[in-house]
Structure 1
Amino acid sequence: MAVTLGEEIALLSLDDESGATKERSTAAWAVAGGILLELAMAGRVTVTGGRLAVADATPTGDALVDGRLRLLTEWTRHNRGRKATDWLAKDQSKATQATVESLCERGLVVEERHRAFGLFPVRRYPEADGSVERELRERLASVVLEGAQPDDRTSGLVALLHAARLHRLAFPELPRKQVEARMAEIAEGQWAGDGVREAIRNMQAALVAITVVTAATAAL
């Protein structure tokens, strides 16, 4: 089953048993970044000088990605010359919800609803089919821990996780220092064309910024 980069990040962030989201704030940005990177790698969007544009509005065939592409096409029509970070800031919450709904439709997670303290509605997404996440974790372990050569999609995923400092989502049992250097090496490798590399750099900058803000807020 082929899943998108955004869905892969979402799977890593959802606790298998409770369905709660780990690293919620940062993971949401990374999910949105994953969808945008998906569009860049498919030649649908470009990022030049940090500015985001739709190069080709033709659907990719993936419902989740195409839904964001339609919204992005409309947004750029009225917001020419805006930065990729502006789109990520606008879309990260809705993109994350759309991504989790896609995982439900694929049968990989199931939605559970209850009320916290009997008052506040809460949704959780525990695992329903763990096969895709297991393959994903095995692939990440192969390239990060065992030194295998990653393909472009895995490299993009590692770049996003590294930029957002989400090492622990991918390797919850290992200290960050054990995987950080190899993830940085993969993220900085010459595995993508110039346009995609610029898109990644912009998303990395956005993810680094939000990670710093999130950490500072948590420390208050």
Structure 2
Amino acid sequence: MGKSRRTIPEELLLLALDPTTGTTAQPQSLDLGLAGAQLVELALAGRIAPDGDRIAVVVPRPTGDPTLDCALELLRRRGAPVRAVHWIGGPRLGLRQTYLSHLERCGMVHAVAGQMCGVLPTTRYQATETAISREIRSRLDSAIRTGVPPDPRTAALAALAHAVGLGKHLYPGNEGRSSRSRLRDLIRHDPMGGLVAHAVMDVQNGVAAQPRRSPATATATATARKPDRVTAAETGPGRIPMQPRRGSMARAVAH
């Protein structure tokens, strides 16, 4: 896979970057969204495919993108299809920083050092290629405004943007309510994007342990639960509780 085209994880991260503050909107759910966006990108590249609510590797050949190929290899090592919620809910430490660093190397953002509360060192990221961010946003706006079914990449990006809660960031206030509703509706235009987006919402709402019965059932469950209540995604070995992050004395990175 050549680097002439931006990947969906990169586009999702650029959408989440606030051009004024250099912070990322919805940082906790965004990490889940980036893991899900990798699945969508691998599916578009023909490397994986949905198998019910699971993800199966169909072509283990590398894509040429190191970050995507790492995810593909981890999926391949599973040996059997893995449930999307289990994959997305697993530990993905450093994934957001990996993509921020990549965008910096590509010249699309630049790092700005600072301090939090005058003590903790922080790094914020300002977009340098604002035309790229505007083009990504324009694609979403066009799909929302025209009602014309978008291409699979835009549909998947819209689904993930809704799943991680970027709707209020992109279309704030009462005047953005109809746009947020249409953004949510775009989830139906890409099966893989829809599967992954529902999995992201399931992990946030702590329902990853139950098999998905149908998209309608999952949507009703997600609506019934409080959106900011996150519980353990899974209690088996190798899983971590998906809980709100508290303060840390570690280096703070763009959130």
TM-score (norm 2): 0.71
Instruction: Report if the CA contact (8 A) 1:168-1:174 is conserved.
Output: no
Q: Indicate which of 195, 219, 225 corresponds to 1:202.
A: 195
Aligned counterparts, 1:74-153, within 5 A? 74=77, 76-77=78-79, 80-153=80-153
Letter in 1 for 2:152: D
Instruction: Report if the CA contact (8 A) 2:57-2:81 is conserved.
Output: no
Instruction: Report if the CA contact (8 A) 2:54-2:81 is conserved.
Output: yes
Q: 1:124–1:158: structure 2 CA closer, same or farther, 3 Å change rule?
A: same
Pairing 1:216–2:229 present:
yes
Aligned residue number for residue 45 of structure 2: 42
Instruction: Report if the CA contact (8 A) 2:155-2:193 is conserved.
Output: no
Distance 1:107 1:48 in 2: 38
Deviation for aligned residue 1:39: 0.7
Cα displacement string for residues 31-74 of structure 1 (whole angstroms, at most 9, x for unaligned residues):
22111111112221123132233221212233432333234334
Instruction: Report if the CA contact (8 A) 1:108-1:128 is conserved.
Output: yes
Aligned residue number for residue 208 of structure 2: none
Distance 2:142 2:95 in 1: 29
Letter in 1 for 2:140: L
Q: 1:175–1:99: structure 2 CA closer, same or farther, 3 Å change rule?
A: farther
Pairing 1:55–2:71 present:
no
Instruction: Report if the CA contact (8 A) 1:12-1:169 is conserved.
Output: no
Letter in 1 for 2:90: K
Letter in 2 for 1:141: D
Aligned residue number for residue 188 of structure 1: 188
Q: Indicate which of 3, 11, 15 corresponds to 1:12.
A: 15
Aligned residue number for residue 67 of structure 2: 64
Pairing 1:30–2:43 present:
no
Distance 1:181 1:118 in 2: 40
Distance 1:175 1:206 in 2: 29
Q: 1:56–1:146: structure 2 CA closer, same or farther, 3 Å change rule?
A: same
SS in 2 for 1:87: helix
Instruction: Report if the CA contact (8 A) 1:17-1:127 is conserved.
Output: no
Deviation for aligned residue 1:91: 4.7
* Greater helix content: 1
Deviation for aligned residue 1:3: 0.9
Q: 1:115–1:182: structure 2 CA closer, same or farther, 3 Å change rule?
A: closer
SS in 1 for 2:82: coil
Aligned residue number for residue 178 of structure 1: 178
Cα displacement string for residues 183-205 of structure 1 (whole angstroms, at most 9, x for unaligned residues):
2432213xx5xxxx2x4343222
Matched residue count: 208
Gaps of 5+ in 1: none
Distance 2:140 2:178 in 1: 14
Cα displacement string for residues 93-128 of structure 1 (whole angstroms, at most 9, x for unaligned residues):
433222212211211111223332343232211112
Between 205-214 and 40-49, report the one with greater CA deviation: 205-214
Distance 1:112 1:71 in 2: 33
Letter in 2 for 1:216: R
Deviation for aligned residue 1:30: 1.4
Distance 1:115 1:71 in 2: 36
Letter in 2 for 1:161: A
Q: CA RMSD in A?
A: 2.5
